[in-house]
């Protein structure tokens, strides 16, 4: 178990490094550089030369990359090309805001989806099951920006004027200080990740309910509640955890579109901005952060499956 964990962590670090190389090369392949992007239409040769000098863009590529990587190892994320602020300072608040969004989305979607899936399985082919089935299919097919726009239409700019349509900065800069503004982006993300979880929970639960040990438990005369909570649920957690993990990992990337739509000051918004500005230190850092979320969440899912399944656990 410990060896497996160590192996996975090592692999994770390797993947992160590979991501940094790919992202570095990809941003270099983008036409134009940060100086061009910053000056845009105002890029006279004189002003370009002056700015490139300031940003030290004249250095060869491998020198730029190695100095960035070297600083990273010392936990120094470098400074943003766009505004000269330290990347850690620039992204600190953003990361905090995105985490707020992701945590809210997770806290709502996971229990709701697992409950809905289980209930559907128990009420198989009844009205609730059918409704859930259609609803999750439709939601799964809709891109999240469509879901977001519909929510805005319904709750802020159309019939009801209940919730803010876009995010407007608060005095403190932290998303936690004004939870009302989190509602619509959170709902959008919940609706984007829940359908798969509901469907997989239902399918797994049905399979488990039809298994021999559940039949056995029922034949033993155990109350239905005990059958479900003690026997069925734990056995369905393993496979479901994998899908839940994938969906949560998606949140880290999917946050880009949702944040852009709601003008939410998080890492997704910052990433779009940094790519447009060719702000390499920021793009690199964000790509690594998102990749790290993927890796960690998947690792956690593996652990949950292992813990839920003694057979696999003892085989290691």
Partner 1 sequence: MPSRGRPITGPSRRDFFRYVAAGATAAGAGAVATGCAGGAVRKAPLPSGPPRYGGRLRVGIVGGSSKDTLDAHAPVTHPDQARVFQLYDTLLRFNDNYEIEPSLAESVESDPQAVTWTIRLREGVEFHNGKPLDAEDVIFTLRRISDPANPQSGAVGLTALDRDSLRALDNRTVRLTMLRPDVTLPDQFAQYANGIVPVGYDPDRPVGTGPFAFDSFEPGQQSVFTKHRNYWREGEPYLDELVISDFPDDTARVNALLGGQVDAIDQVPLGLLRVLDADPNLRLLESQTGAWLPFTMRVDRPPFDDVRVRQAFRLVVDRQQMIDQVLGGHGTVGNDLYSPLDQMYNSSLPQRTRDVAKARRLLKEAGKENLSVELVTSPVAAGTVEAAQVFAQQAAEAGIKVGIRRLDPGEFFGDQYLSWDFAQDFWFTRNFLSQAGNGSLPESPYNETHWAHPEFTDLVQRARATTDPAARRELIWRAQQIEWESGGHIIWGFPNQLDAHSVRVAGLGVDRSGIPLNSYGFRRAWLAR
Q: Which stretches of the chain bind partner 1, using CB under 8 A?
A: 30-32, 36-47, 50, 80, 82-83, 90, 149, 152, 156-157, 161, 164-166, 168-169, 173, 260-263, 265, 269-270, 272-274, 276-279, 282
Question: Closer to partner 1 at the Cβ: 18 or 50?
Answer: 50
Query: CA-CA distance, 250 to 192, in Å (whole number)?
Result: 10
Q: Which is nearer to partner 1, 179 or 223 (CB)?
A: 179
Residue 259 Cβ vs partner 1, minimum distance, rounded to whole Å: 10
Q: Which is nearer to partner 1, 117 or 265 (CB)?
A: 265
Residue 181 vs 305, nearer CB to partner 1: 181
Of 55, 53, 51, nearest in space to 40 by CA: 51
Q: What is the C-alpha to C-alpha distance for residues 68 and 79, in angstroms, rounded to an integer? A: 10
82 vs 106 by CB, closer to partner 1? 82
From the CB of 82, what's the least distance to partner 1, in Å? 4
Contact call for residues 301 and 125 (beta carbons, < 8 A): no
> What are the tokens at 178?
């004004």
Query: Sign of the CA dihedral 234, 240, 246, 249?
Result: negative
First CA to last CA distance, the chain: 6
Q: Which helix (H) or strand (E) holds 67?
A: helix 61-73
Instruction: State in angstroms the smallest separation of the CB of 253 from partner 1.
Output: 18
Q: What is the dihedral of CA 60, 63, 68, 70, to 10 degrees?
A: 180
Reduce the secondary structure of 159-178 to three states and give it as a string.
CCCCCCCCCCCCCCCCHHHC
Q: Both tokens of residue 270? A: 């910052």
Question: From the CB of 262, what's the least distance to partner 1, in Å?
Answer: 7
**CA distances (Å), 135 to each of 102, 198, 199, 276, in order?**
23, 10, 11, 37
* Shortest Cβ 233–partner 1 spacing (Å): 42
- Minimum distance from CB of 80 to partner 1 (Å)? 7
Nearer to partner 1, 117 or 185 (CB): 185
- Smallest gap from Cβ 275 to partner 1, in A, equals 9
Residue closer to partner 1 by CB (options 117, 281) is: 281
* Cβ atoms 192, 150 nearer than 8 A: no
């Amino acid at each position: 178990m410990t060896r497996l964990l160590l192996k996975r962590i090592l692999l994770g670090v390797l993947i992160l490094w590979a991501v940094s190389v790919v992202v570095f090369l990809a941003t270099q392949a983008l036409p134009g550089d940060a100086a061009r992007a910053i000056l845009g239409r105002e890029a006279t040769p004189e002003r370009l030369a002056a700015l490139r000098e300031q940003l030290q863009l004249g250095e060869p590529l491998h020198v730029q990359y190695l100095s960035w990587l070297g600083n990273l190892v010392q936990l120094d994320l470098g400074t943003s090309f766009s505004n000269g602020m330290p990347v850690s300072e620039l992204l600190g608040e953003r990361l905090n805001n995105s985490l707020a969004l992701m945590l809210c989305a997770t806290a709502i979607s996971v229990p709701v989806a697992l409950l809905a899936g289980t209930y559907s399985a128990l009420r198989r082919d009844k009205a609730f099951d059918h409704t859930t089935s259609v609803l999750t299919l439709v939601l799964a097919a809709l891109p999240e920006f469509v879901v977001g726009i519909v929510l805005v239409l319904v709750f802020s700019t159309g019939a009801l004027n209940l919730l803010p349509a876009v995010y407007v900065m608060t005095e403190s800069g932290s998303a936690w200080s004004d939870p009302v503004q989190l509602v619509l982006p959170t709902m959008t993300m919940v609706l984007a990740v829940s359908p798969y979880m509901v469907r997989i929970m239902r399918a797994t639960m049905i399979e488990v309910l039809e298994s021999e040990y559940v039949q056995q438990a029922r034949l033993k005369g155990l109350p239905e509640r005990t059958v479900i909570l003690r026997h069925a649920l734990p056995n369905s957690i393993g496979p479901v955890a994998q899908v839940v993990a994938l969906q949560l990992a998606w949140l880290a990337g999917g946050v880009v579109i949702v944040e852009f739509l709601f003008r939410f000051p998080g890492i997704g918004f910052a990433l779009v901005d940094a790519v447009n500005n060719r702000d390499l230190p920021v793009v690199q850092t964000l790509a690594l952060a998102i990749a790290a979320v993927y890796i960690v969440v998947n690792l956690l899912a593996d652990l949950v499956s292992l813990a839920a399944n003694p057979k696999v656990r003892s085989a290691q």
